[in-house]
Structure 1
Amino acid sequence: MESWPWPSGGAWLLVAARALLQLLRADLRLGRPLLAALTLLAALDWLCQRLLPPLAALAVLAATGWIVLSRLARRQRLPVATRAVLITGCDSGFGKATAKNLDALGFTVLATVLDLNSPGALELRACCSPRLKLLQMDLTKPADISRVLEFTKAHTASTGLWGLVNNAGQNILVGDAELSPVSTFRSCMEVNFFGTLEMTKGLLPLLRHSSGRIVTVSSPAGDMPFPCLAAYGTSKAAVALLMDTFSCELLPWGVKVSVIQPACFKTEAVKDMDQWEERKQQLLANLPRELLQAYGEDYIEHLNGQFLHCLSQALPDLSPVVDAITDALLAAQPRRRYYPGHGLGLMYFIHYYLPEGLRRRFLQSFFISPYVPRALRPGQPGLTSARDVAQDPGPKPGPSPTAQ
């Protein structure tokens, strides 16, 4: 019987030492998950010995074992005690589900809603404890934000504010960046970025005093150029970078900052198909004639249909996102990034490690498949090729679209 090469044995020694340490600290349990992980590592070892040089096999096996054991570890949680948390955007979706979960755990929850009489607000009032306080707030209105900040400071004077969950956000329109009005970009930035910035800055004195947590719900659309989500994705990219900056700057104060990047989940906003149809009709009605002729109404219809099909595949169970937010608030060492939902690991691997052409084709096939604008279809009047543009780079006669 062949003996294992020394690199493989060294990797197993490292994995065994890590597992033993976790078992002694009660971070790891003996059970089927651990047995399954060890079986997979043994299969990986068998493959590595036959396909890789000894040192490469050592690196792959040791790294995989370390990551697997880290995933299996039971993360140490802080006690809830009298901790208070403010959550924005609790009318529906992740905000409402998180407010219910944190209230059940014993948190003092301050939940902001757009409408105190909305179905979501009424549901929270009916099913949660008296500790939960509902606060009306529109992130585009400075007076609302100031009122919520003052209430929070007064209401947490004795307990302190442990956490802020920046959940409120909006996506207004599905369409190419050229088709999206500038006002759409401004609206998304106003809620998703500036509203989050103002809330975070306003509560930082309380969070610094408690060495608390900031948890912000962003989106993979802020990391990758999803077709037709330019306004939404740009605002989410901005807020993710802002949180990374806060994470570095607040480290000396003991404030930990986490960003949640969820997959597509079936929230109330996702399920409301009528709103997307209404927004599509508004886009068609207000689109400049030149753009409508260049792209074509069927192009916009295709985008909307593909987007609605993608939403129909959304995950119905919101608990992975709620669990990620809860872990970011209570874990002794929370992660900087959480990726709840299926398929995100593969998506990010493709985005970061594969060539640009493959990345683009993957996003198109995963989200919205390509569709040729009307002006680029063969036989259409006004078809302009790249060669034509290169031969005649000068301005064409006619009125300037900015002169209207």
Structure 2
Amino acid sequence: MPPAKVVEEPDDSRTWELLERCLLPIAFSHAVAVTLASILNTLGISQTSSFVLFLLFLFFSIGITLFYHNLKVTAAGKAILITGCDSRVGYALAKRLDELGFIVFAGFQNQSECEEKINKLKEDASGRLHILQMDISCERDIHSTFLYVNENLPDGAPGLWALVHANAWITLGECEWVPPSVVKKSVDINFTSVVRLTQIFLPLIRRCKGRIVLVSSILARIPSPVRGIQCANGAAAEAWGSCLRLEMRRWSVDVVIVETGEYVAGNAWLKDNVALLNQARDMWVQLDPQTRKEYGEELFQKEMLSLEKYTKGPDADLTRVLRALIDGIIKTFPLKRYTPVSRKERMQAFVSDHLPKTIYDIIYTD
């Protein structure tokens, strides 16, 4: 029986991005028009309508905004480091940026486990692409990568144009059940290592007035049971990235956050149905007796098996995610945040951000 086709809704994320870009010019045009019309009318110089002035200012401000919104950098002589190329997002991004003419350093968490994927990437890519062993939680790998990138920058390039954090390690399970060792590893890969890697490469990025791109998830803004660790890591990374953006403005370094949909990012701790039961038993054994008694083994196994919907099913369409990532890399004036998600996810994030939490719980909590 052929697999069910996934019906993808139209990508309207560009419309939202353009609207976000134009909100300030619209507000500015209105404020200037009202102020100027009031001054002219008060002094008796002219009886010009504020609406006419608004349309005039709006025409020029939107035109200038659209011009700057679509400016792009040239790929020639620019190098990009991407972590987590063993994931679908990182792999596809490395391949696409190589096609655009960038020098790409593709970091793989474990080269020995990705030989087939690496060989395929080498076949499809140009000689500009470099494959690196890069466990971002290993200090030795980080420093060796820095030395390699620094020695293999394009001729005449002052530094690294972009650092893309596409590495992710997804942790599933209720907050009380996830073992401390798994929590520690998840935080280390998804947050601590991102901070450390950025600190090491910032001097190279600063010289190039380049940018840092964080691949996050919409879960950073919406609470989701059994994915609490993932939500927390995403929120921490985004808050840190927002602060870094403010600190880097003096050097014209951009920090861009790309929030993907729920089923796009990284490698899961609970990878497949075969491993689910074994990992569930491990978690069950590590819980203290009182907790096991309160939950009951039947409820625990039922909850663990329900996680299959997060690890199975058709692969998410990466088209809109790749488009947002590439825009964040090649646009001269990128947005601070790109959200290439479905309308349902966008609405859920809006409700979570702007409406009382009680309303969110009523709508989205089972």
3-state DSSP of counterpart to 1:85: strand
Change (3 A) 1:281 1:338: farther
Query: How far 1:137 sits from its partner (Å)?
Result: 1.3
C-alpha contact 1:92 1:120 (8 A) present in aligned 2: no
Query: How far 1:157 sits from its partner (Å)?
Result: 6.4
- 1:329 matched to which residue of 2? 329
Query: How far 1:140 sits from its partner (Å)?
Result: 2.0
Instruction: Indicate yes or no: 2:231 matched with 1:233.
Output: yes
Change (3 A) 1:207 1:94: same
Q: Superposition pairs for residues 124-203 of structure 1, below 5 Å?
A: 124-156=121-153, 158=155, 159=157, 160-172=159-171, 174-203=172-201
**Corresponding letter in the other structure for 2:95:** K
C-alpha contact 2:142 2:197 (8 A) present in aligned 1: yes
Query: How far 1:290 sits from its partner (Å)?
Result: 1.9
Tell me the alpha carbon deviations over residues 71-99 of structure 1, each in whole angstroms, 9 at most, x when there is no partner. xx962222212210000000121101110
Query: How far 1:288 sits from its partner (Å)?
Result: 2.5
The whole-number CA distance in structure 2 between the counterparts of 1:350 and 1:313 is: 27
Query: How far 1:202 sits from its partner (Å)?
Result: 0.5
The whole-number CA distance in structure 1 between the counterparts of 2:55 and 2:118 is: 49
**Corresponding letter in the other structure for 2:117:** G
Moved more, 9-18 or 219-228: 9-18
- 2:289 matched to which residue of 1? 289
3-state DSSP of counterpart to 2:177: coil
Query: How far 1:313 sits from its partner (Å)?
Result: 6.8
The whole-number CA distance in structure 2 between the counterparts of 1:320 and 1:161 is: 25
The whole-number CA distance in structure 2 between the counterparts of 1:11 and 1:278 is: 68
C-alpha contact 1:265 1:318 (8 A) present in aligned 2: no
Instruction: Indicate yes or no: 2:84 matched with 1:89.
Output: yes
Moved more, 145-154 or 9-18: 9-18
Tell me the alpha carbon deviations over residues 311-344 of structure 1, each in whole angstroms, 9 at most, x when there is no partner. 5577621121111111111112111111111023
- 2:117 matched to which residue of 1? 120
1:265 corresponds, among 263, 266, 279, to 263
C-alpha contact 2:161 2:210 (8 A) present in aligned 1: yes
C-alpha contact 1:218 1:259 (8 A) present in aligned 2: yes
Gaps of 5+ in 1: 1-6, 29-72, 370-404
The whole-number CA distance in structure 2 between the counterparts of 1:290 and 1:301 is: 17
Q: When the two structures are superposed, what TM-score results if normalisation uses the length of structure 1? A: 0.70
Q: Superposition pairs for residues 94-113 of structure 1, below 5 Å?
A: 94-113=89-108
The whole-number CA distance in structure 2 between the counterparts of 1:352 and 1:259 is: 17
The whole-number CA distance in structure 2 between the counterparts of 1:277 and 1:235 is: 25
Instruction: Indicate yes or no: 2:211 matched with 1:213.
Output: yes
- 2:348 matched to which residue of 1? 347
- 1:359 matched to which residue of 2? 360
The whole-number CA distance in structure 1 between the counterparts of 2:91 and 2:353 is: 33
Percent of matched pairs sharing the same residue: 25
The whole-number CA distance in structure 2 between the counterparts of 1:15 and 1:91 is: 50
Query: How far 1:177 sits from its partner (Å)?
Result: 1.6
2:246 corresponds, among 245, 248, 256, to 248
Moved more, 224-233 or 330-339: 224-233
3-state DSSP of counterpart to 2:212: strand
**Corresponding letter in the other structure for 1:329:** I
The whole-number CA distance in structure 2 between the counterparts of 1:19 and 1:297 is: 65
**Corresponding letter in the other structure for 1:249:** E
Which structure has more relative contact order (CA 8 Å, sep 6+)? It is: 2
**Corresponding letter in the other structure for 2:353:** Y
The whole-number CA distance in structure 1 between the counterparts of 2:166 and 2:244 is: 17
Runs of 4+ in 1 over 6 A off after TM superposition: 9-13
Instruction: Indicate yes or no: 2:302 matched with 1:308.
Output: no
The whole-number CA distance in structure 2 between the counterparts of 1:141 and 1:243 is: 21
Change (3 A) 1:255 1:26: closer
**Corresponding letter in the other structure for 2:174:** D
Gaps of 5+ in 2: 1-33, 35-48
Change (3 A) 1:349 1:136: same
Query: How far 1:276 sits from its partner (Å)?
Result: 4.5
The whole-number CA distance in structure 2 between the counterparts of 1:212 and 1:88 is: 17
Q: When the two structures are superposed, what TM-score results if normalisation uses the length of structure 2? A: 0.77
